[in-house]
Amino acid sequence: MSKVIKNKKKKASGNGSEKKLERFGLIHPHSAGIDVGSMLMVVSYTDQQGTIHTREFDSFTQSLYLLAERLQQEGVEKVAMEATGPYWQALYSILESYGMEMVVVNPSHYRNVAAQKTDINDAQWLHQLLAHGLLRESHIAPELNRELRGYLHERDIYKKQKSDTLNRIQKALTQMNVKVQHLISDIEGVAGMKLLRAISSGKNDPEELLRLINIKIMKASREDLLSSLKGDYQQQYTNILSKTLKTYDFLKEQMQAYETYIEGTLVKMLAYDLTPIAKKKGLVRKNQYSINLKDYLHAIFGIDLTEVEGLDEIGLLTILAVTGTNMKKWPTAGHFTSWLNLSPRPKISGGKIIGYEKRMTNNPATQAFRLAANSLWQSKGPMGQQYRKLAATKGKAKAIKAVARKLAVIFYNLVLKKEAYDPTRIQPDIEKQTARKIARLQKEAAKLGLTIQKAA
């Protein structure tokens, strides 16, 4: 039995839709396509008379400006390029400064013509697809958000290197047979760092070392602490510890320097807002930010998103750097979650779902939403309840993805509509849940020939 496919009106005898075959129109007549390489840029563009030209430019900065001037002189308004490593970024910034609309294309979203693959063919194919409106544009955040993302990435690198350095410090203590790192919960804390710096300076008397810290706040006894500080203090291990501590201090300084850059970028985002952001109060823990992220994010987004279960300042800062604040780039919340790779992608064959497509993504915003979902495993709120329910029935992996998608939908709607978070809107209906449980139990009892009645 055949089915007629139609788009606008459904007939009584069919389940599909119908429409007339449309010809491909020229949507962007003043456009260009660029094949981006490490040392060569091949551009195909349409001039003001409608003639297509293909030119080659090297990738030196002066040549990139010449390329931009050529396209501007020919009236090119929209340019497509392939996202090839980091090589496209410099050209993107230059063309953007010339007022052109940029389209960055994921290489997996288009295929070359059935011919020999060359740089010229790639540029011409990109140009042709763009002119007919057949390319799907990748999301590129505004310049300030890209600047913020770069600083966050570099700070995260130093944070990971600092973690590796701490492991090397603990290895040096183990080689000395010093066990104090097993008795102090945080060797990176005030007491731990005092002991490390004293040992690296040549002090090895347990009594003298113990007098440097306040043992009253320690959980371990004085005797255990004394025993843990008795070790084999060889000069080589002391030297290694001293140099490794210098590396640790350098990495912390770099993290702090990038925090200064991050705060400067956040201030630029608030250029229109004259309200000063207060300094952060309280003790700053080891990997936390020393700047008042909560107030900055509140002012930039226009709402306090930290009220949403699972979303914290660091995760929101990462999301801001990737997505920006303009949610209108995605027509619906479904488009937003699909871009984040948090929506299911069913594979349909023969009218039946035969499985789901699995896709990998390195999107930092996706990782931030997934980490937020994973942090809800012991939350007492409605999102935490949903996570535990899904984890028990579907497994942890599916629960993380489902809850991350829900968090992304909440984020999208709150930022788009500038509405305050209302947890009662996602609170589960207890009466409906109870009614479903009763109906399920009655159905199971009926299969066994039993009847369930309410107690008097």
Which pLDDT band, with edges at 50, 70 and 90, does 428 fall under?
A: low
Q: What is the pLDDT of residue 436?
A: 83
Could you give the CA distance from residue 370 to residue 399 in angstroms, rounded to a whole number?
10
Q: What value does the mean pLDDT take over residues 183-207? A: 90
What are the phi and psi torsion angles at 425 (to 5°)? Answer: -75, -20
Cα 121 to Cα 33, 39, 86, 141: the distances in Å are 10, 17, 22, 29
Q: What is the pLDDT of residue 216?
A: 85
What percent of the chain has a predicted confidence (pLDDT) above 70? 92
Which pLDDT band, with edges at 50, 70 and 90, does 331 fall under?
A: very high
| 5 Cβ contact partners less than 8 Å away, ≥ 6 residues apart | 16, 17, 18
Q: What is the pLDDT of residue 17?
A: 60
Q: What is the pLDDT of residue 112?
A: 61
Which pLDDT band, with edges at 50, 70 and 90, does 440 fall under?
A: confident
Do strands 352-356 and 346-349 pair parallel, antiparallel, or not at all (unpaired)? antiparallel
Quick one: which of 329, 317, 45 has its CA closest to 155? Answer: 317
Which pLDDT band, with edges at 50, 70 and 90, does 114 fall under?
A: low
Note the pLDDT tens digit of each residue in 41-65.
999 999 988 899 999 999 999 999 9
Residue type, position 98, single letter: Y
Q: Where are the domains of the chain?
A: 31-131, 147-257, 292-353+361-427
Helix runs in 340-429, H state only: 364-374, 382-394, 396-417
DSSP 9-68: ---TT-SS---PPPPPP-S-SSEEEEEE-SSEEEEEEE-TTS-EEEEEEESSHHHHHHHH
Tokens of 246: 């210098």
pLDDT at 15 over 70: no
- Do 139 and 83 form a contact (C-beta atoms < 8 A)? no
pLDDT at 8 over 50: no
Could you give the CA distance from residue 368 to residue 407 in angstroms, rounded to a whole number?
10
Cα four-point dihedral sign 188, 190, 191, 196: positive
Note the pLDDT tens digit of each residue in 65-103.
999 999 999 999 999 998 778 899 999 999 999 999 999
The torsion region of residue 50 among left (phi > 0), alpha (psi -120 to 50) and beta comes to: left
Tokens of 221: 């006894």
Q: What is the pLDDT of residue 145?
A: 94
What value does the mean pLDDT of the chain take?
Answer: 88
The number of beta carbons lying within 10 Å of the beta carbon of residue 274 is 6
Q: What is the pLDDT of residue 6?
A: 45
239 vs 118, which has greater pLDDT? Answer: 239
Could you give the CA distance from residue 48 to residue 51 in angstroms, rounded to a whole number?
7
In CATH, the architecture of 31-131 is 2-Layer Sandwich (3.30)
Could you give the CA distance from residue 3 to residue 19 in angstroms, rounded to a whole number?
14
Q: What is the pLDDT of residue 14?
A: 47
